[in-house]
Chain A
């Protein structure tokens, strides 16, 4: 069995070696090209944990408000997500479920937020989540508006779809109109929340109605094509994670490169769908450009749970483990996993830890994985290398890759 394994992979490895060059050159082309504008350089610093900027302030106006602007006053340099909306619309529930892994049923007991709650998230990219109390009027002169909105990454406005939403829309529009002069490039993300309680028809009607009202009102005030996106969310399923994924993706300047890399990986290995997940929050930071359905996201997200849980159970510190004298060939240090389904024609799942924070998860079709596993491993290794070029500074943190010698 082992020998056939190698026979199958040996010639094909060579052919994929060429692909790897292609992939690499694409990455290196795409990499520097994407890094020109100043704002992107700024974000690169956060991604790479650089303590101090060695990049001179750029005259190019930033396209991504993901943190400290080149000449802003002292900030802590973390992209900021603002959660805003009416009272009891579900802001604190969202932040507890997504970032603190609180079971959705427990959010009933959360108390009303009375002051701005600032929380830092440490992940592949450090960012802050600010949870605002619903009743505050941010444009009260007593508030330091600049301080709040200066370094904002995205403004998330939560609307309770089960409640009367006209007032919420009115306040949202006031906020957008107030902000558009001083911060025209803020991404406004509207979460139409608690949709789990609505019937299918009513849900889409409500959703459409909200979009219509917001856009009409904005254009009445002469603000056409406002950068506002809408999502239907609920904390009782994966929709809230998916919405957050899309919000975060907008803050990643390397997204097109990541997508191109994933596309190339998918076409080389006949992968149906590939996701690059942030392991901790289970937000995906990139996927290939084929159509996404929430089902495949959920499967992948549940799969991470399985791997993490099993990893926790058996990954305990064994005494005397460090003296591995007789070990000839140890496994890859990065976790990898594969699930093959019993019935023909069903998908199988492949997971590979890319670095401390990120994992690649692929959904694959019918072809038998036992022959292709080595190939996929190799190509994912190439992908990993390319990713290191995209995020060069993370290289230090991860152990050297042991890719098969071609």
Chain B
């Protein structure tokens, strides 16, 4: 679980029939496109690569593979090892409206076979896409039917393959991608553990850690009553809300969407208080806390103090000065890392011990 400080490249293949919606999906999730903008996209030629840096030394290496038959043929023959070697995740997109579903599945099982041969340890996610085109009452049965059929064709991945119904017009896209990202994060348990401690200290009802550019949730911690929140889809919804807001800000202030980030957002009501603030270089933390000014202020201070701790999880093997300057406590975290190396007990125990330290300074407010 503790994979060390090495930057981890994870190769993700995005495949499916031509026109299934692979590039649309990628543009919306990773490049700040609005759903209606995707009709401007042309066909993908061969493979388009993109690298996305995530929390917890995860670097996503996304291969958007053009789906026209000629390209697919090429992937399966000449480039077989190049394309299917060392894959962490294959995301296969099915178009629910496709007229040649049988043919899609044949192509899918060819790809699955190649994957099984070159990277047997990979994980497969199937997205049944464009669900918005199906009438609401038919969605469930149709989805189940397709899942059954595709699972039967999944060869060695029959047990592990996961299915999601998606559409670019609602938050279902975020739901699927959140699961995929969660699977890819190498040190998710460590992050969750730290978040849990933080949540205890600041008395948060819920903490959501999400990536800043994509607004995809990395992980979340829910405490006490909040787990009974009737909105079980709230994480995708928050991703979607934040993304929409970011686009709106970008559109009307003329800032490019990539940098239209807010430093902080607060919402206070009589029932809850909610704020979002920056946690590490590319993650934000959203916290829902009880409606009390004291708790709110204490939580803000404590989150500021805990930043270096999370920054450490984020830092790649080579110390990158750019990142550290971003945080006022760079010297402090440097020293701590030094100490940490000395007492390398390893894994969780170590983090737990240290995790309290920066938080403790704010304890006076916590009551």
Contacts and interface: CB of A to CB of B under 8 A. Distances in A.
Given A314-B229, A318-B271, 8 more contacts: A295-B252, A296-B252, A313-B234, A315-B269, A315-B272, A327-B291, A335-B269, A338-B266
B354 interface: no
A230 interface: no
B244 interface: yes
Interface stretch (B256-264, B316-324, B334-342): B256-264
A346 B253 contact: yes
B157 interface: no
Contacts of B272: 314-315
Contacts of B252: 295-296, 298-299
B293 A335 contact: no
B188 to A, nearest CB: 23
B259 A335 contact: no
Interface stretch (A196-204, A220-228, A303-311): A303-311
Interface of B: 205-206, 225, 228-231, 234, 237-238, 241-242, 244-245, 248-249, 251-253, 255, 259-274, 278, 288, 290-294, 296-297, 301, 365
B293 A337 contact: no
B293 A331 contact: yes
Contacts of B242: 306
A348 to B, nearest CB: 8
Contact of B273 (A305, A319, A331): A331
A215 interface: no
20 contacts: A295-B252, A306-B245, A310-B241, A313-B231, A314-B229, A318-B228, A318-B271, A328-B292, A328-B294, A329-B292, A329-B293, A331-B270, A331-B293, A333-B269, A335-B268, A337-B268, A339-B264, A340-B262, A343-B255, A346-B253
Contacts of A313: 229, 231, 234, 237-238
Nearest to A311: B269
Interface in A190-219: none
For the complex of A and B, 6 pairs with smallest distance between CB atoms: A302-B248, A333-B270, A295-B252, A335-B269, A331-B291, A337-B267
B interface: dominant SS: mixed
A296 B301 CA distance: 32
B264 A340 contact: yes
A337 B266 contact: yes
A185 to B, nearest CB: 37
Nearest to B230: A316
Contacts of B293: 329-331
B268 A310 contact: no
